[in-house]
Amino acid sequence: MGKIVVKNIQSQNSTTAFKIPSSDGTAGQFLETDGAGNLSWGGPSDFKSADGSSLTYTLPNTDGTAGQFLQSNSTGGDTKWASMSSPTATPDGTKQGWNFIDKFVADDSGSVNEVNLTVPTSMTTDGSNIIAYRMDFYSFSGEDNNSNASPRISCYLQDGSTVACQTDAYSNWHHWNSQNGHQASSTSYSYTAGSGYRPNTTYFGAGTNYTTNSGKKTFGSTGYLGGGLSGTFFWWNARGNPQGWMNAHGPATLTNWTNYNGMTYGYVTPTDTTTPYHTTNNRTMSWKVQLVQGGSIRNGTVILSGYFKNGVL
């Protein structure tokens, strides 16, 4: 093989002598100049932005630890490794806990007749991946002024329109307020659309339309006197025998809410021994919250969060 051993190569048409590297580069490297005729092997540790000129990126000198993400270290293109795991995931990222799903916020600009809270398809389309739900109510209230302004909670498939259940559910609830003391009852709920679990059938009005000491205004108005339901509904999303529990506080019906302010505790579960609660299609992946009398929801916030199986999110 012909070979010339030399340190510099210069074109006949040039006065610039290029000093060639004295050793080989590593695979993938290329020849680059320092502007003074010295050629060296360039590594891919630095590279340009997409437009070829604005930024020169440099990668960290060493790899990060497992699970770390590449982040900017400044605005100049240098980068670093950093941990970015969710606060509700373990440091190694293998287990994921409590996660926000959806929320509803009522405001003074209008009102709605129902709240729909749904698991995004980007999270999952398989309801068995959701072990449990949590639904938090903050001062949830409607326009009416009686017990039928109480919220009812219904289970749906992810499309938000197909009921998720095929059997009735049964509920037992207790309520305490200063006027009436303790009240309790049990009732059943049809699985057909339009029904749904409600935490209290008699003394729990989430609606009120007060405007004075015996009344309440909406969130944005002055003289807000409170009222509305605040509490949490939990749901264990088993296929055949799920169960729900609710603990909430708020005014009962009637105008003098100071005497009827109380606490409701309720429990709901299917009791059918032949038919599983959820249909064969899927499990609950969407929730509908309405007022029992179908009126307008005027105020408050409802937040849906969930507990997914590891590795789903």
Q: Name which of residues 60 to 99 contact another protein (CB under 8 A).
A: 69-77, 82, 84, 86-92, 95-98
Contacts of 157 (CB under 8 A, 6+ apart): 127, 163, 164, 279, 281, 282, 284, 285, 286
Which of 24, 63, 110, 182 is in the footprint of another protein by CB under 8 A? 182
Which of 60, 143, 174, 218 is in the footprint of another protein by CB under 8 A? 174
CB 86 within 8 A of CB 271: no
- Would you give the DSSP letter of residue 302? E
138 vs 265 by CB, closer to another protein: 265
Spell out, one character per residue from 273 to 292, where the chain touches another protein: x when CB under 8 A holds, - when not: xxxxx--x------------
For residues 61 and 82, give the distance between their C-alpha atoms in angstroms, rounded to a whole number: 14
Total residues binding another protein (CB under 8 A): 101
- What is the closest distance, in whole angstroms, from the C-beta atom of residue 39 to another protein in the complex? 8
201 vs 209 by CB, closer to another protein: 201
86 vs 125 by CB, closer to another protein: 86
* Residue 138 sits in the site that holds another protein (CB under 8 A): no
For residues 304 and 104, give the distance between their C-alpha atoms in angstroms, rounded to a whole number: 9
265, 307, 305: which is closest to 104 by C-alpha?
305
75 vs 222 by CB, closer to another protein: 75
Q: Segment 96-125, which members bind another protein (CB under 8 A)? A: 96-98
13 vs 222 by CB, closer to another protein: 13
**Residue 283 burial (CB < 10 Å; 0-12/13-18/19+)?**
buried
225 vs 238 by CB, closer to another protein: 238
- What is the closest distance, in whole angstroms, from the C-beta atom of residue 179 to another protein in the complex? 16
For residues 284 and 164, give the distance between their C-alpha atoms in angstroms, rounded to a whole number: 5
Which of 60, 114, 132, 138 is in the footprint of another protein by CB under 8 A? 132
Give CA separation, 60 vs 12, 34, 136, 262, in Å. Answer: 41, 22, 44, 59
Number of Cβ within 10 Å of residue 14's Cβ equals 8
Q: Segment 22-51, which members bind another protein (CB under 8 A)? A: 30-37, 39, 42, 44, 47-51
Q: Segment 293-312, which members bind another protein (CB under 8 A)? A: 307, 309-310
| Alpha helices in the chain, H assignment, sequence order | 257-260
Stretch that binds another protein, among 5-13, 108-116, 151-159, 203-211 (CB under 8 A): 5-13
Bridge partner list, 81: 70
272, 226, 267, 273: which is closest to 250 by C-alpha?
226
86 vs 212 by CB, closer to another protein: 86
Q: Segment 216-255, which members bind another protein (CB under 8 A)? A: 234, 236, 238-241, 243-245, 247
